[in-house]
Amino acid sequence: MKKIIELKRVVITGLGMVTSLGLDVPNSWNAMLAGESGIDLITQWGDLDELKDEFKLPEDLPMIAGEVKGFNIKDIIKQRKQGFSKDDLKQVKYMDSFTQFAHAAALEAIADSNVRLDDGEVNPDRVGVIIGSGLGGPQTWESEFKRFLRGKKVSPFLIPRLIPNLAAGNVSISFKAKGANACLATACASGAHAIGEAFQRVQLGKEDAIACGGTEASITLLTIAGFHALKALSSEYQTPQSASRPFDINRNGFVMAEGSGILILEELEHALGRGAKIYAEVIGFAMTGDASHITDPDIYGAIRCIKLALEDAEISPEEVDLINPHATSTPKGDINEAKAIKEVFGVEKDKPLITANKSQLGHSLGAVGGIEAISCVLSICNNKVPPILNLEQVDQECQGLNYVREQAKQARIDIALSNSFGFGGTNATLIFRKYS
């Protein structure tokens, strides 16, 4: 006997964000609309000149990033968690920074959604947590390895701090959510894939609500040296703020960043039943593989991913008002994505508008799918689109698209699409719609 499943509608009822421009959604979003940049010289390593001398680092090693500033997880737990106890603060010793960022963003999203698992209104068995991370805890790896080489004992918290699924695990424990508890590690598509997986699980009725998104804390000396060796990072720039320049003729690589973006996805009737506010609806998701090269993107993988997401959402390309592309500011990647967008949506059209959050925030790897999904949702809610910074001269091969440049744009946004592409040829596309 065949099992017939009626797909549920999935809406977004909570948002949480930690970025280089703010420790919450309002501050991050307002700074983005104001055209600010969160990219600057790295501060967490102390004197950068002394560091280069001590370790004989290459002179062209980029010492810039989109750092999260002024962050203290214990203060955030005290402010955001209802009924927090000393046990909540004790859990911090198990957390690498990537877990702390996810925890902070999740606390904001949970409070925003007003999902309560302790009053009988919501069944904890039907609430899940799916949070992606590309690297997990490289900060813990590096610091503990240095201790080990100096003959000191390795911390018993080494493994709990560094493994990628501990962001989801810690949020699940704190939230008392007993549904799906998972991590997707698909490089820079991790956060988007986590949202897509959550979307499909709620669609199928497996959970009533899921906290989902991505997190990353990858600003370490070895990680930056590794990406620099791949020639992936921007290393020629007049100021740190000018280094990330998606689609610009003078772009030369991405800028490392950190942070987290967490959304609460909820089945529509469940959300209405408890009187939740609704930001937007998730209507489409797709993921594809290039099957060509681990770092060199293939245009057909991106084209197929976008088309499959449109098919899943049951909409035409003409209905999309905004695209938040992956747009890392790498020479090949931006051309590849621009061509894919033109292939699907055409050229020289009034819409879709094109933004690029990495020009302001940097590239937070596994977190970026969550952060850019929130940006899409906020554009839908506010009918405003953040600008692409540093787009002074569009690369000839990227021309033909309607880029939002110089300042934020007021425009009616009913449907927004977000792309995330990762090493290994892994692709994700998410589509969001104004709720009605």
Q: Residue 135 and residue 162: Cα distance in Å, rounded?
A: 9
Candidate list 103, 183, 188, 193, residue with the active-site label: 188
- For helices 368-382 and 25-33, the axis angle rounded to 10 degrees is 70
What is the torsion angle, in degrees rounded to the nearest 10, for the CA atoms of residue 162, residue 167, residue 170 and residue 172? -150
Q: Is 363 a catalytic residue?
A: yes
Cis peptide before 331 (omega within 30 of 0): no
Sign of CA dihedral 28, 31, 33, 37: negative
Candidate list 103, 326, 376, 398, residue with the active-site label: 326
Q: Is 188 a catalytic residue?
A: yes
363 closest CA partner among 205, 270, 273, 257: 257
Candidate list 103, 193, 228, 363, residue with the active-site label: 363
Q: Are 33 and 384 in contact (CB under 8 A)?
A: yes
Strand 353-354 and strand 322-324: the pairing is parallel
**Which residue is it, tokens 């927090």?**
84
Q: Residue 43 and residue 148: Cα distance in Å, rounded?
A: 25
Residues in CB range of 220: below 8 A, 6 or more apart: 138, 139, 142
Q: Are 305 and 369 in contact (CB under 8 A)?
A: no
Residues marked active site are found at 188, 326, 363
